[in-house]
Amino acid sequence: MERLRLHARVVVHFHPDRLGPKSTTVAEALLDEGVYRSQFETGLSSGGLSAFRGGARDSWENALFGGAYHTDGVAASERPKYGALELVRHPDGPLPRFGSCYVVLRRDVSIRTSFTFMGSEDPRATERLGTIGRMDAVMAALFSEIEAGGMASPPWPPFHAPTLGVPNLTVSRLLDILEDLQQPRKEPADVAAGRVLDTGIEAQVHGPLDLRQDVELLVADPAFAETATGTILREVASTYRIPLRWHSGFQLPVDNVPDDFRGPAMPRLAQRLAGKGGTIDAVVIGRGEASLREQPDAWRDWGSYEEALQHLKQLWHVLVHYGVPARNPHRGGLGVRSPLDRL
Question: 14 forms bridges with which residues in the sheet?
Answer: 101
Instruction: Give yes or no for residue 117 having a pLDDT over 50.
Output: yes
Look at the chain and report how many structural domains it folds into.
2
- Are 71 and 33 in a shared domain? yes
- Are 295 and 198 in a shared domain? no
**Helices 282-294 and 266-274, interaxial angle, to 10°?**
90
pLDDT band at 56 (very low <50, low <70, confident <90, very high): confident
- Are 98 and 138 in a shared domain? yes
Helix then strand then coil, in percent of the chain rounded to 5, is 40, 15, 40
Summarize pLDDT for 284-330 with one digit per residue, the tens. 999 999 999 999 999 999 999 999 999 999 999 999 999 999 865 55
- Are 212 and 310 in a shared domain? no
Single residue among 246, 276, 307 that ends a domain in this structure: 246
Single residue among 246, 276, 304 that ends a domain in this structure: 246
Give just the sign of the alpha carbon dihedral 271, 266, 121, 10. negative
- Are 17 and 120 in a shared domain? yes
23 located within any domain? yes
pTM of the prediction?
0.91
328 located within any domain? no
- Are 236 and 299 in a shared domain? no
Instruction: Give yes or no for residue 98 having a pLDDT over 60.
Output: yes
Question: 202 forms bridges with which residues in the sheet?
Answer: 84, 116
The mean pLDDT value for 165-178 works out to 93
Single residue among 229, 246, 263 that ends a domain in this structure: 246
- Are 139 and 96 in a shared domain? yes
122 located within any domain? yes
For residue 287, which of 276, 302, 273 has the smallest C-alpha distance?
A: 273
- Are 258 and 113 in a shared domain? no
**How far apart (Å, rounded) are the C-alpha atoms in residues 29 and 35?**
8
327 located within any domain? no
- Are 232 and 302 in a shared domain? no
The mean pLDDT value for 175-198 works out to 94
Cα distances from 148 to residues 86, 169, 342, in angstroms, run 22, 11, 25
Q: Which residue has the higher pLDDT, 177 or 54?
A: 177
- For strands 215-220 and 244-246, give the pairing: parallel
pLDDT for the residue 71: 87
- Are 263 and 125 in a shared domain? no
**How far apart (Å, rounded) are the C-alpha atoms in residues 296 and 19?**
14
pLDDT for the residue 72: 83
pLDDT for the residue 330: 54
Summarize pLDDT for 224-275 with one digit per residue, the tens. 999 999 999 999 999 999 999 999 999 999 999 999 999 999 999 999 999 9
Full residue range of the structural domain in which residue 293 is found: 252-322
- Are 38 and 186 in a shared domain? yes
Instruction: Give yes or no for residue 333 having a pLDDT over 50.
Output: no
